[in-house]
Structure 1
Amino acid sequence: MIRPVTIIAVCIGSSISLSAYSAGLQTVNVGHVVANKSDKDVHNDGEKNRVGQVEKITIEGAATANESPVGTFTTPISNLEYDPRVDLQSRNMAEAQADVTIRGGIFENTGFSVGSATLIDPQSGHYVAEIPIAPEMLSAPAILTGVDNSLYGTNSSVGSVAYQWRPIQTAGSVSVGVGNNDFNMQRIHNAASWALDDASQWKVGVEGEYSRSQSDGSIENGDHNFERASGRVQLLGDTSQTDVFFGYQEKFFGWPNLYTPFNVNETEDLQTRLLMVNHQQQYAQNSNFEVSAYYRKHNDHYVFSRENPDSFQAFHETKVKAIAASGRHELSDTLALNYAVQLSADEIESTSLENNFTSRDYYKVSMVPEYTVAFSDREQLTFRVGAAYDDTNRDDSQLSLISDIVWQKLNPDNSVHTVNLSYSEATQVAGYTAIGGSTSSGLFRSNDALQRETSKNLELGMSFDEATWRVDSAVFYRWDNELTDWTYSFDSTSARVANPVDIETLGVEFIAIARLDAVDLVTSYAFLDKSENYRDENIDASFYALNYPPHRFTLGMIWYPGDSFEIKVDNEWRKQEENVLRQGGDTAFFTHITLTYLPPQFEGLNVILAADNLWDESFEEIPGTPGRSEQLSLTISYLW
């Protein structure tokens, strides 16, 4: 067996960092646009531009060992719970309902972007991760924080999870899986790409997939039934890529105390449709732009009690239309302009939210000039200072400062040392569930006095990128003002109430990666400390803003014990902040392990044994919501 190229990308500070350990053709991000360059091109474009080339290139990769889940088919957010850059708090499982948080923020502060466009769900940030796209079509996620989030993110004040469209390559697979809890899964994916003619540099690609899974669940009343179908066509040239995509996803799942702490068995039935057109273009010298447009329709049917559905249920339908563009234009060897713009319009129909405030238009424009001073052909200092302008037709506008200084040195052995200092601001407005429902009754009580949220981030980061190892570190201090949190009071009949809070967060991050002879490793430690002010003594518990780990470790490993075997292990240990609603302890240790056997007699056949939550940890990731139990599976895949 030929050992596959393993690339681990780490996002620390306000820049996207990289580490690659083998030569050959690699996918890289040039600015905010994906392009293909060989390893030779990266390091040998001329001695004069070597530092600039290293600074602008990000090699795509994953920050976890495992890419596929154990209890369902793979989605764009699968295994993010083991990613050292984010904290994923799931109900049932990550692919059922996932709250993705970054650096101690909450799910509402995290944006998801595909191409240049941020996907918005105006009802609640609980559903922004409903992305009906086959993972084969997308790059590994890049985690944008600080300056990059302020520049490229929309309505996401702390961080963004960003994906790019991959070039289509002829390949396919079919998979069937079974497991405990009556789990079964079936999946087929196929893609084809061909040149228009022998002399043409243009390629046409077609790609599609269908996936489904169902299970009784790892705990009682934790069943699921998922289905997804997606497809795209692509036109690929030397300097451009155009994609037209449509995807549909339907998910039913149940869980005790899914959103409320009242000991009932709740369910949700979600349907998501996404139509998207994306164009990437490179031009001139180190210049590019990308344009994205999408239409997203999401339906949510929530049932408070599956045994007595008429006691309370709600229907929501949201529609979002958006167009976005981003890019980088190089004006000279020392001066460039980074920019992004997004215009979005949404609307909602709901049986439980008011009928007055049911639509909103969003506008965001960001401009960040970049100036580079080269001390030598191997050392440079880059300054970026600009601003972002956010507005809606229903809220006050906001101007946010974006700035950083990056020192970078390319050493004679091609190792890279980087230091960055940044200050950035970002802003967002509350979703309809937080601001558009009843303020005096109901399970989920809104707050029509919520103001625009603002976040300010000061950060110092350092990285050392060597031939076979890399270390990234960062320390940051963030001020979140008017952050919308969901809280609980023992004297209230409501399950959750939207309340504003001011929070100051001190954070430290450390990530180390290494490639040994037969093992690839990634490990991390994160520290968070918060100081909060709710201005309300009646609040007894926070479901989200104060549900964070002051200490968190991760360790991922890919081991190749022989030509026909591969072992992947992800581990996470956390010490969670105390919460009066949490049943059980405040520490947890999770392990996801996969053993893959490639029978040498059958080329393309994979036999995969996998286990998630191997130690049957019962930790409540959301206070008051039961944690998942262990899940085991056997999957047989054939790849061509």
Structure 2
Amino acid sequence: MFHKTFSLFLSALPLSVFAMESVDVISTEKAEANVEKITIEGAATANNKPVGTFNSPISNLEYDPRVDLQSRNMAEAQADVTIRGGIFENTGFRVGSATLIDPQTGHYFAEIPIAPEMLTEPSIFTGVDNALYGVNSSVGTVSYGWRPIQEAGSVSVGVGNNNFNLQRVHGAVKQQLKSYPAWSVGVEGEYSRSESDGTIANGDHQFERASGRVQLASERSQTDLFYGYQQKFFGWPNLYTPFDVNETEDIETRLVMLNHNQRYGEKGNESAFEVSGYYRENDDHYVFSRENPESFQAFHETQVKSLALSGTHNLSPDFGINYSAQITADDIESTTLENNFTSRDYYNISVVPEYRTQLNTKESITVRLGGAFDDTNRDEDRLSFVGDFNWFTQTGDNASRNLYLSYAEATQVAGYTAVGGSTTSGLFRSNNQLQREVSKNLELGASFDEQSWKVDTAVFYRWDNDLTDWTYSFDSTSARSANPVDIQTLGFELIAIKRFDNADVVASYTYLDKSEDYGIEGVDASFYALNYPPHRVTLGLVWFATDTVEVRIDNEWRKQETNALRNGSDSAFFSHVTLTYSPAQIEGLNLVLAVDNFWDERFEEIPGTPGRGEQYSATVTYFW
């Protein structure tokens, strides 16, 4: 079936030059008009806040059609974010120009202690843009930018079932400099905490986050100095193992980041660059059994230092150079790793020239051709090729069509848990023979923009070689083992948005088909690489019912690939419903009633790990 479908895909190539890949919005207006996009800023989901804790950068991504979020407890507790059928370790998280790396495991990639008010909506990089801007993320990157500070503030108090409670305060001020009126200085900070007994037994959590930044900004530049701290304790049955035990995690994350964004050059042909430097520390304490913690527990302390640069330098209206580079050094102290594989240096540089041609007053063609180089002090280096062809047409007033064809290669190396632990015993069995992973992506796509609607669609075929997967054998005493696998993935995605007078609707459909080869016997189940939905549908609605009442609904239906470890159904239907009342008599006051998992689905997003239950909450917020 898979190879027959691939043959149909190849035969359709000449007829299928339609769709676009997802891409971030870079600083120059010219570059923004020419890069590929399947990103719909701020409209990928109806809701933007969770029900069972405070908001975080990855909140509500489980309903985002561009990614597949597989959670333990809830998304804000443990988020494995996958893109286009990859696994969580194939997905990078980028803030400014820098990809945030966790050297131990991709389970901690999404530990980002930044208040969402400080960041732009996430853009999803795939294909050429992931190869250009991503680092050690072979399939995709979730990218955020730093927002300009706006004077505002809020205080929130929330309660819910399962003894849930939440408190949060956020504030920002900005002052124009009297001696330099073109410049302003801003300060922004927040503190958030929440706790709950959990939506199932032994699924409790205690979270808190404090973050702040100082910003210096002008018309053509912005500099941010940020510090964030986050502490999370949570429990969940079968959190990582299928042995019917109640496991816990205690995670502390600290992040210091300095970011500078600069535009330069003549108006109409501006260039831009962004420099980001960060220090990230992530400490975790894992307990296999909360009833018997001495049976097995692990401590890990990781430190990462990184400097990154990206931008576009336009030499003329017809030619520019896109570039990105990042240098990263990490180390880990662990009670479970062996030998001397406890530090690594990463080097990445990408250069992709861009050629732009105006065919007539309404049509233009953009061609990008270049490459990326990746290396570490412990692994073999690799040079990757990237390129795309983009045809943009203005089809009417406030209407356009964008077509593209692209090919991109990207690469990454496995984390320490996969390569640095015991290869013969233990709960999590490593594999010190793992090689550099290589991904090759061929894609066709289109975007159609009208005044009141937008449609983005793409069809892709991806070759993943030596992908590191975690597998299970019924004859093994380990919870899981790291094994390489070669996978071929065929995918199709469609995202549509329609705006009405008093409502916005976003709908999507995603199709995935995989063919895998582990090269060994004894693989009875895959926790990640083969844990994907062949069919997935999302439907979001924002209904402005009255001047004071707003209703937001996100729905997701999926048919998951059969897995020997999964208990219960392979299908699931989730809904997240929010009702907001803003009384006209009290300006700035909001009352929010919300429910997640409205139908109380118990679908196992991670095979063998119990699914979340239903969560209700009521939150009062005062804005100023």
What TM-score, normalized by structure 1, do the two folds share? 0.93
Alignment of 1:374 onto 2:355: no
- 1:455 match: 439
Whole-angstrom CA distance in 2 between matches of 1:566 and 1:53: 32
- 1:609 match: 593
Q: Is the 8 A contact 1:15 1:147 kept in 2?
A: no
Q: Is the 8 A contact 1:120 1:128 kept in 2?
A: yes
TM-superposition CA deviations, 1:221-269 (whole Å, max 9, x none): 0000000000000001010000000000000000000000000000000
TM-superposition CA deviations, 1:26-47 (whole Å, max 9, x none): xxx3xx23x7xxxxxx8xxxxx
- 1:290 match: 274
Q: In structure 1, the residue corresponding to 2:57 is in which secondary structure?
A: coil
Which amino acid counterpart does residue 545 of structure 1 have in structure 2? Answer: A
- 1:150 match: 131
Alignment of 1:74 onto 2:81: no
Q: Which of the numbers 229, 233, 251 marks the counterpart of 1:248?
A: 229
- 2:190 match: 209
TM-superposition CA deviations, 1:542-581 (whole Å, max 9, x none): 0000000000000000001111100000000000000010
Which amino acid counterpart does residue 556 of structure 1 have in structure 2? Answer: G
Q: Which of the numbers 12, 21, 27 marks the counterpart of 1:14?
A: 21
Q: Is the 8 A contact 1:62 1:140 kept in 2?
A: no
Q: In structure 1, the residue corresponding to 2:545 is in which secondary structure?
A: strand
- 2:578 match: 594
Q: Is the 8 A contact 1:141 1:161 kept in 2?
A: yes
Q: Is the 8 A contact 1:257 1:266 kept in 2?
A: yes
Alignment of 1:262 onto 2:246: no
Q: Which of the numbers 206, 216, 220 marks the counterpart of 2:201?
A: 220
- 2:604 match: 620
Whole-angstrom CA distance in 2 between matches of 1:404 and 1:504: 21
Whole-angstrom CA distance in 2 between matches of 1:175 and 1:481: 48
TM-superposition CA deviations, 1:32-88 (whole Å, max 9, x none): 23x7xxxxxx8xxxxxx8xx7743698742411100000000000000000000000
- 1:9 match: none
Q: Is the 8 A contact 1:62 1:141 kept in 2?
A: no
Q: Which of the numbers 528, 536, 557 marks the counterpart of 1:544?
A: 528
Q: CA deviation at 1:536?
A: 1.3
Q: Is the 8 A contact 1:266 1:306 kept in 2?
A: yes
Alignment coverage as a number of residue pairs: 602
Alignment of 1:313 onto 2:297: yes
Q: Is the 8 A contact 2:20 2:402 kept in 1?
A: no
Q: In structure 2, the residue corresponding to 1:331 is in which secondary structure?
A: strand
Alignment of 1:580 onto 2:587: no
Q: In structure 1, the residue corresponding to 2:48 is in which secondary structure?
A: coil
TM-superposition CA deviations, 1:565-616 (whole Å, max 9, x none): 0000000000000001000000000000000000111100000000000000
The share of aligned pairs that are identical, in percent, is 69
Whole-angstrom CA distance in 1 between matches of 2:385 and 2:33: 26
- 2:613 match: 629
Whole-angstrom CA distance in 2 between matches of 1:286 and 1:104: 37
Which amino acid counterpart does residue 236 of structure 1 have in structure 2? Answer: A
Cα distance change of structure 1 residues 393 and 199 upon mapping to structure 2, 3 Å threshold: closer
- 2:552 match: 568
Q: Superposed, which structure 2 residues align to 1:471-510 within 5 Å?
A: 471-510=455-494
Alignment of 1:519 onto 2:479: no
Q: Superposed, which structure 2 residues align to 1:84-95 within 5 Å?
A: 84-95=65-76
Q: CA deviation at 1:199?
A: 6.0
Q: CA deviation at 1:194?
A: 1.2
Which amino acid counterpart does residue 55 of structure 1 have in structure 2? Answer: N
Q: Superposed, which structure 2 residues align to 1:360-509 within 5 Å?
A: 360-509=344-493
- 2:81 match: 100
Alignment of 1:115 onto 2:96: yes
Q: Superposed, which structure 2 residues align to 1:347-366 within 5 Å?
A: 347-366=331-350
TM-superposition CA deviations, 1:440-478 (whole Å, max 9, x none): 000000000000000000000011100000111100000
Q: Is the 8 A contact 2:20 2:403 kept in 1?
A: no
Q: Which stretch has the larger CA shift, 373-382 or 194-203?
A: 194-203
Q: CA deviation at 1:13?
A: 3.6
Whole-angstrom CA distance in 2 between matches of 1:412 and 1:553: 31
Q: In structure 1, the residue corresponding to 2:417 is in which secondary structure?
A: helix
Whole-angstrom CA distance in 1 between matches of 2:64 and 2:88: 16
Which amino acid counterpart does residue 34 of structure 2 have in structure 1? Answer: E
Q: Is the 8 A contact 2:249 2:287 kept in 1?
A: yes
- 1:304 match: 288
Q: Which of the numbers 151, 158, 162 marks the counterpart of 1:170?
A: 151
Whole-angstrom CA distance in 2 between matches of 1:581 and 1:184: 34
Whole-angstrom CA distance in 1 between matches of 2:32 and 2:441: 27
Q: In structure 2, the residue corresponding to 1:81 is in which secondary structure?
A: helix
Q: In structure 2, the residue corresponding to 1:558 is in which secondary structure?
A: strand
TM-superposition CA deviations, 1:491-542 (whole Å, max 9, x none): 0000010000000000000111010111100000000000000011201000
Whole-angstrom CA distance in 2 between matches of 1:254 and 1:424: 40
Consecutive unaligned residues of structure 2, counting only runs of 5 or more, are 1-18
Whole-angstrom CA distance in 2 between matches of 1:214 and 1:355: 39
Whole-angstrom CA distance in 2 between matches of 1:249 and 1:464: 41
Q: Is the 8 A contact 1:85 1:143 kept in 2?
A: yes
Alignment of 1:61 onto 2:61: no
Which amino acid counterpart does residue 534 of structure 2 have in structure 1? Answer: P
Which amino acid counterpart does residue 563 of structure 2 have in structure 1? Answer: N
- 1:342 match: 326
Q: RMSD of the TM alignment (CA)?
A: 1.4
Whole-angstrom CA distance in 2 between matches of 1:422 and 1:271: 40
Whole-angstrom CA distance in 2 between matches of 1:561 and 1:54: 35
What TM-score, normalized by structure 2, do the two folds share? 0.95
- 2:218 match: 237
Alignment of 1:193 onto 2:157: no
- 1:20 match: none
Consecutive unaligned residues of structure 1, counting only runs of 5 or more, are 1-11, 18-28, 36-41, 43-48
Cα distance change of structure 1 residues 108 and 200 upon mapping to structure 2, 3 Å threshold: same
Q: CA deviation at 1:354?
A: 1.2
Whole-angstrom CA distance in 2 between matches of 1:461 and 1:309: 51
- 2:10 match: none
Q: In structure 2, the residue corresponding to 1:352 is in which secondary structure?
A: coil
Q: Is the 8 A contact 1:476 1:506 kept in 2?
A: yes
Q: Superposed, which structure 2 residues align to 1:23-42 within 5 Å?
A: 29=25, 32-33=26-27
Whole-angstrom CA distance in 1 between matches of 2:590 and 2:357: 51
Q: Is the 8 A contact 2:22 2:123 kept in 1?
A: no
TM-superposition CA deviations, 1:410-465 (whole Å, max 9, x none): 12313110101000000000000000000000000000000000000000001110
Whole-angstrom CA distance in 1 between matches of 2:420 and 2:573: 38
Whole-angstrom CA distance in 2 between matches of 1:593 and 1:69: 10
Whole-angstrom CA distance in 2 between matches of 1:125 and 1:539: 22
Q: Is the 8 A contact 1:13 1:146 kept in 2?
A: no
Q: In structure 2, the residue corresponding to 1:411 is in which secondary structure?
A: strand
Whole-angstrom CA distance in 1 between matches of 2:104 and 2:71: 18
